[in-house]
Amino acid sequence: MPKSHVRKKKVYTPPPDIRPSAVTAAAAKKPSPLWLPITAVSLIVFGIGWVVVYYLSGGLYPVLSWGYWNLAVGFGAMIAALGLLSRWR
């Protein structure tokens, strides 16, 4: 039985106005500033310290009148650090 012809697909090349340039790609991959990891680690240490002090003092410290909102401050600092670390390259 004879074989049928196989159609070859053309390779797609995007138009030049849509194609990303090498300059834009290189500019987008700049390293992170030095303050970013330092701030993130500081926020993590601060958040853990805040929660530990709250639990060990039985709720008397860091701020007595805030009650359980002290936990929100500690965990909020750690979540803010996570947000910063998601931008780190």
Mind giving me the DSSP string for 12-64?
P---TTTSPPHHHHHHHTPPPPTHHHHHHHHHHHHHHHHHHHHHHTTT-SS-G
For the ranges 3-17, 27-41, 66-80, the maximum mean pLDDT occurs at: 66-80
**Is the predicted pLDDT of residue 2 greater than 60, yes or no?**
yes
The answer to pTM > 0.85 is no
Q: Which of the two residues, 53 and 9, has the higher pLDDT score?
A: 53
* Cα first-last separation, the chain: 59
> What would the pLDDT profile of 46-78 be if each residue is shown by its tens digit?
999 999 999 999 888 888 898 899 999 999 999
Q: Please enumerate in sequence order all residues whose Cβ is within 8 A of that of 58, keeping only pairs 6 or more positions apart, or say none.
A: none
**Is the predicted pLDDT of residue 22 greater than 60, yes or no?**
no
pLDDT band at 85 (very low <50, low <70, confident <90, very high): very high
